Amino acid sequence: MQVRFYANMQTITGQEVFEVADADGDTTLRDLLNILIKHFPTIEPYLFNPANDLLPDVPIFVNGRNPRLEKLGVDMPLGADDVVSMFSPISSGKMNVEVMREPTFSERS
């Protein structure tokens, strides 16, 4: 399994690509993120909140797809050939799945 880091995530980890050799067939995306935290401890506050939930403004893609759109989300299983891409957190003008699913003002009324 391969993790590709972009922008600030690359600066935080000091790497462009990280090969994950210690992942097995039962590895989930959450497991992978915890593996990354073991290898790169400074990345943790950029990924999870204190309740261990993935921060909503962290763009992560598995094989080019947003795992938040998958039924299992971050608990989705990963395969040995999967490529996980991690981008810098979005700090302004964010457009992620959670924001897109929030009802608009007119729908709340």
What are 42-90's pLDDT values in tens digits?
Answer: 999 888 888 888 888 889 999 999 998 889 988 999 998 999 999 987 6
Q: In this structure, what CATH number is given to the domain that contains residue 93? A: 3.10.20.30
Buried b (16+ CB within 10 A) or exposed e, 90-102: eeeeeeeeeeeee
Q: What angle do CA 53, 54, 59 make, to 5 degrees?
A: 170
Structural domain harbouring 47? 2-108
| Residues 5-54 pLDDT 10s | 998 899 999 999 999 886 667 899 999 999 999 999 999 988 888 888 88
3-class DSSP state for residue 56? coil
The strand order across the sheet containing 17-19 reads 17-19, 2-5, 83-86, 60-62
How many domains does the chain fold into? 1
pLDDT of residue 29: 93
